[in-house]
Structure 1
Amino acid sequence: MPLRMTLTAVTLDCADPRELAAFYQRVTGYEPHPKSHADFAGITREDGFTIGFQRVDDYRAPHWPDQTVPQRLHFDFDVDDLDEAEALLLKWGAAKPAHQPHEKRSRVFTDPAGHPFCVTAR
């Protein structure tokens, strides 16, 4: 049985979350995320899908197509059961970093290429 995961958000690193959120709000017409603040801002589609922007100290913008500074983002997924999701994700090749800021309600993993993503209890 496949793991049922729903993509709920994409979060991008940046130097100024509010500025980037304002730009994408204009581009997409999405509404401001209600929990936006100085270090995180987001925009939300009517169905709840969110694009987030998180402040990163010393952020270095990617240079396309040059990979000197590669593109960075992470995916957020909702699941019915965190423990079941963890077991399956690890089996399929994900890794679980030691640092887990909110392990009881969400978990951070890395994909086989090292890109982080979050899994949150529905």
Structure 2
Amino acid sequence: MTIAKLRVVALDCRDPLALAGFYAAIIGGTPVRDETDEDWVELRGHEGTTLAFQESPGHVPPKWPSSDGSQQLHLDFTVTDIDAAEKQVLALGATLLDAGPRGRSWRVYADPAGHPFCLCAD
């Protein structure tokens, strides 16, 4: 028996609308600002768990790799062509953090707000 159902994964950032646009270009959906809380933007209309973005004026990007525990979490995205997907996320403003050894099936990037995420070959 489960206790709860995951409703949303929320990322703190300085500009929630811009970061929602970045992820909309990767996984689809439309950034929608909450009518009652202008600091909250959800990415709607894509498959999977809701991704949300909350304004945090003092947001400090996590470090990667983290030896001090500042990373806290990252997102993994499955792609069919990792090289093509890499070109697309870099064009959107991502930063390559770790390409790994040749032939590794995943690579690590940072989004424009500094949150790490991985592209993983299907």
Q: TM-score, normalised by structure 1?
A: 0.48
